[in-house]
Structure 1
């Protein structure tokens, strides 16, 4: 089972809110669009994994996690537990991989994205274009991003008018 931390990177532009999508390039898998993020390492905090994965995959540093994540850390007798409230949590119940993930809405510092061995083609898309692409060609997104986009785009209509 995979446990992931992913980010919906948002920024305000003249055309409204834009989000960053990237092309995922993994061996023996089709190239698809996705949001940055990846596997949480053993005993790594969810938030630390989020910051690390976004930096590794985009070259950008998160400066704000949006919303009240209610982060609490508990430590006692050699254990530490992180509790928090992400924007969205998912678990695949059928599909190519068994995974659980934590999704956060974030802002990043201004800067240029960088290419790495697993992702490239970073592009900021306004919400209208993103929704149109998702509605007309959902298969261009990886299966996790399809589920997340379904939730996120509905949430945006209610909460970011």
Structure 2
């Protein structure tokens, strides 16, 4: 029997306070999470059948953090086409990742977004939800990359690199 990868979406949620940029991170604690429980991640989840990817991102962030998404980079550039009995959405994520080995066949498309509200203490999927500065995140990745959920490492590193290049200019 053929098995297919599951489509997913993730959000690098950013906020700026006193000219310091922060990113929201959390720890996995899913009932069937196994060895992945305790790993640091960004809010993410699976896309339901025919669910608009942006609606999915909003839903997953709400379920996992209690925050309401106020902006998703690139959403305004989205094109929806209806033809031949289909309705298709064309969009550009910030980063994409695919598990090509391991326990779980998933492909995650990551977007940069902003959100508002009060962070939950924990959910049935996450705990230790918190804001970290870009410098703190860089130190965490540089010194303890193995503490992170592998699907999100390169998206976070890409974001840090982008921000460090802009800061250097």
Please report the TM-score for the alignment, with normalisation by the length of structure 1: 0.90
> Does the CA-based 8 Å contact 2:80-2:90 persist in structure 1?
yes
Report deviation, 1:95. 3.5
Change (3 A) 1:44 1:80: same
Paired position in structure 1 for 2:136 = 129
Structure 1 runs (4+) deviating above 6 angstroms are: none
Distance 1:111 1:99 in 2: 29
Q: Does residue 45 of structure 1 match 2:52?
A: yes
Q: Provide the residue aligned with 2:79 in structure 1.
A: 72
Deviations 1:60-105 (A, max 9, x none): 1100113566201112343210110111122233333222111111
Distance in 1 of aligned mates of 2:152 and 2:10: 10
Gaps of 5+ in 1: none
Partner of 2:113: 106
- Output the TM-score relative to the length of structure 2: 0.86
Q: Alpha carbons of 1:70 and 1:45: their partners in 2 closer, same or farther (altered >3 Å)?
A: same
* Number of the residue aligned with 2:26: 22
* Pair 1:118-2:125 in alignment: yes
Cα offsets for 1:5-31 (capped at 9, x unmatched): 100000001361000001111222331
Greater share of helix: 2
Task: Indicate conservation of the 8 Å contact 1:69/1:84, yes or no.
Answer: no
* 8 A Cα contact 1:6 1:104, kept in partner: yes
Bigger Cα displacement from structure 2, 40-49 vs 147-156: 147-156
2:9–2:44 CA contact under 8 A, matched in 1? yes
In structure 2, stretches of 5+ residues that fail to align are none
Aligned residue pairs total 161
* Cα distance, 1:99–1:69 mapped onto 2, change above 3 Å: farther
Structure 1 residues 121 and 136: CA distance shift in structure 2, 3 A = same
C-alpha contact 1:69 1:86 (8 A) present in aligned 2: no
